[in-house]
A and B are shown apart, each in its own frame.
Chain A
Amino acid sequence: MKHLVFFNKCVILLLLFFFFDLLFSIVLINGLKKSADFNQNPEILINGSSMAGSGFNRQEIEKLTGNHVTIYTQEGVSVFDRYAMINHFFHMYPAGIKTVIYEVSPVLLSDTKTSVNVYTLFFPFMDDKTINSYIKENASPREYYVHKIIRTTRFKSRSFISIVSGYLGMFGNVKTNTLDTTALVPLISEKGKKEIIIQQANREIFENTMDTILSYNSNIVLVMMPMYYIKFQTFNGDSYKNLCSYFENYCSVRKGIRFIDLNHDSLIFNPGYFSDQLHFNVYGQRRITKIISSYIVENKNKSN
């Protein structure tokens, strides 16, 4: 009799577990969507890595441009992951949007993958068909099914910060520290060493991504995000120029795509804009947001 009671209690606990699992996951995904502002009908999408995430203030761009903005960025995403992100976004908004600001970086087309487990960042969006198949391709079967069955496992402590900020409506960069340039001294000896090679496979994926965006009648702005000059100078100058030429040439033959390189002297030499060599602090974010917003407004006026 006692065993039966124990068994019944286990069943009840299990049912409660799955009920709360579903409930919590709804609350959590809602917060996450709010932090990227997936819930409204956006007019501008900003897509990229954490460099873009630290560089743009959504509310400020909305105020300056008068357009609704969604910032869909993740840490360490490669061109492959970004393709999944773009497909995911347009799966949610099949009507298309005005502009996609697509962050590019020197390593976007040369590195196969920045990090091997980037796909784990997309677990929260597993219910979406495109993200689901992307995760199935990358994750082990055990990992895939655990996350598929127990929904709260999709949310890690890192995404929890975004969830809370989504509910609290805190979208700005909160980092106020400036770059400690002394820590970058060892990088000086690396000057000009890193070759930027455009990998064929990456280029194809990048061009497929552009095709996908254009198929939704959206304009594209490719933005080369700035990095602190010591880091910037670790890349071979000629190969960097080649990469920019590739983007410029590509834009000249494809209608609706423009390219801007933000590695200006006024930005990259100012340690006061960076919280580390690649990411912006609140001051850098203000500057980048202003530049991009002005660019959008100017081009809107031109097209008008």
Chain B
Amino acid sequence: MLIASYFFYINIKPVYALLTAGITLFTFLFTRLIDSTTSELKKKRYMVTNIVLILLPLFFFKYFSIINNELLALLENHSLRWPLPEIKLILPVGISFYTFMAIGYTIDVYNEEIKSEKNIGILALFVSFFPLVLSGPIERAKNMLPQFRAQKILNYDMVVKGLKFMLWGYFMKLVVADRIGIYIDVVYHDVSQCNGTSLLIASLLRPFQIYADLGGYTLIAIGTAKVLGFNVMCNFNRPFFATSMGEFWRRWHISLITWLTDYIYTPLSFSFRKLRIWGIVLALLITFLISGIWHKASLNFVVWGLMQGIFLSLEALTNSKRFALDKRYAFSKNPIFKFVSIAMTYLLFSASLVLGRAANMGDVIKIYEKIFTNQGTPYLDLTTLAYSFFGIFLIMFKDFKDEFYPGKLSFFSNRKIWIRYLSYLIVIFLIIIFGVFEGNRFLYFQF
């Protein structure tokens, strides 16, 4: 499995496999050192050194060009020239994901939640496991290492389950995400030309594009792992049925959010505990600021991260009052209130995603402005929109059914074999006929 994983990664770009190997080696050495010492100070030093060492490549590849350009611009503003070497860097695919996994493992060993792995091969497999190496889910060592240690035998049920996950994942990616992408790319590429309606449609479609893209990728990854006999955590839990931003973030990109919660938010809120509720607010703001900067070191993503932090902080600050009101009037049981809450959560998230897609802050302001004034030329590619909405409808129908009627009206898991087979075939033919096969990459490969 390790050879297969490295072969997979080498196929993308051979030199980057060295990076994965380096991160594995450092992590192995330092976690063994953490385990071998009883001194708390030494343990902490080893942990911090390892984290710094494995974060260096991530920082270098992700932020060198940006820092270089900013520095040059700053110096030139003061009539100084200090040309740094120009290095054209291509971010190694999946570097964030395996770095996060290695950091998580190091901290878990430090916190004595798990013992350090004695077999470097198994640790290397954890870091480079090919279904997860490109875009996650960001798995935990305590879940994966025992599975890697155990001997695998072909499990028919797991294979079937895995293939079903993969099939739906391909549908989400090829039929929905890439189809929506066609419309969004045109509109966001020409913000100054397109009118507010087109920009509004593109902005409202964006959350579905990311959900279908990353969610689709995740299902393919989980499915592949299942076929090989491994259980991997899920990454999305029907996020568009969340009634608040807090709930939304418990359902969206779960592996990243739980990682951020465990390794950043929880230690921070513990440190700020004397500030009580404001400590939580501060921890939330810092956590989402880091999340924003992790996505991209740009003003857009800084503001995006802060926006998420502010949404969650506002919810945290009004939590007790909302809870009291709900206890008195039972709002949460009212279907209309629930529907409005779902819609509001979706709209807030869509509005924030404009920051993630627009080229710069100037475009962000232009988009918000145009949405309310509707200037410009409409871009209505009705065919693409019709196919997009059809795909979204199918995804939302499945999510709605799973959310409110779990276990009922199942297709892939129906007891009747002909319904099962028919649904497999329909999805396969939908992918063949409506899929976009022009080699679009997964959106999260860039992170």
Contact = CB atoms under 8 A, between A and B. Distances in A.
B56 interface: no
B343 interface: no
B79 interface: no
B433 A155 contact: yes
A152 B432 contact: yes
Contacts of B154: 3
Interface residues of B, number: 17
Interface stretch (B18-26, B345-353, B366-374, B421-429): B421-429
A13 B428 CA distance: 11
Contacts of B387: 157
A6 B156 contact: yes
B159 interface: yes
A183 B425 CA distance: 45
Interface in B399-447: 421, 424-425, 428-429, 432-434
Nearest to B434: A157
A3 B434 CA distance: 33
B49 interface: no
A17 interface: yes
Nearest to B426: A20
B425 A16 contact: yes
B383 interface: yes
Contact of B377 (A12, A24, A183): A183
Interface in B78-127: none
Contacts of A12: 421
A160 interface: yes
B159 A17 contact: no
Interface string A241-277: 0000000000000000000000000000000000000
Contacts of A156: 433
B420 to A, nearest CB: 10
Contacts of A153: 432
Interface string B20-40: 000000000000000000000
B156 A150 contact: no
A288 to B, nearest CB: 23
Contacts of B434: 157, 160
Contacts of A17: 425, 428
Contacts of A21: 429
Contacts of A20: 425, 429
Interface in B113-150: none
A152 B432 CA distance: 7
Nearest to A12: B421
Interface string A116-128: 0000000000000
A101 B433 CA distance: 32
A152 B156 contact: no
Given A6-B159, A20-B425, A180-B377, A150 B383 contact: no
A2 B429 CA distance: 28
Nearest to B193: A183
Nearest to B179: A157
A153 B431 CA distance: 9
A158 B156 contact: no
Interface string A158-186: 10110000000000000000001001000
Contact of B421 (A16, A150, A155, A158): A16
By CB atoms of chain A within 10 A, which of B156, B377, B383, B429 has the most? B429
Contacts of B179: 157
Interface in A1-39: 2-3, 5-6, 12-13, 16-17, 20-21, 24
A138 to B, nearest CB: 17
A234 to B, nearest CB: 20
B180 to A, nearest CB: 13
Contacts of B433: 152, 155-157, 160
B383 A13 contact: no
Contacts of A158: 383
By CB atoms of chain B within 10 A, which of A2, A12, A157, A183 has the most? A157
Nearest to B159: A6
A150 B160 CA distance: 23
A37 B421 CA distance: 35
Interface in A107-157: 150, 152-153, 155-157
Nearest to A2: B156
A13 B424 contact: yes
A161 B425 contact: no
A155 B159 CA distance: 30
Nearest to B424: A13
A24 B425 CA distance: 11
Contact of A157 (B159, B160, B383): B383
A13 B429 contact: no
Contacts of A24: 429
Nearest to A152: B432
Contacts of B156: 2-3, 5-6
A155 B160 CA distance: 29
B83 to A, nearest CB: 36
B421 A13 contact: yes
Given A2-B156, A157-B387, A152 B425 contact: no
B21 to A, nearest CB: 33
A150 B432 CA distance: 9
A17 B433 CA distance: 14
B362 to A, nearest CB: 22
Closest 5 CB pairs of A and B: A152-B432, A2-B156, A157-B434, A6-B156, A20-B425
Interface of A: 2-3, 5-6, 12-13, 16-17, 20-21, 24, 150, 152-153, 155-158, 160-161, 180, 183
12 contacts: A2-B156, A3-B154, A3-B156, A12-B421, A13-B424, A20-B425, A24-B429, A152-B433, A156-B433, A157-B433, A160-B434, A183-B377
Interface of B: 154, 156, 159-160, 179, 193, 377, 383, 387, 421, 424-425, 428-429, 432-434
Given A3-B156, A6-B159, A160-B433, 17 more contacts: A2-B156, A3-B154, A6-B156, A6-B160, A12-B421, A13-B421, A16-B421, A17-B425, A20-B425, A153-B432, A155-B433, A156-B433, A157-B179, A157-B383, A157-B434, A158-B383, A161-B383
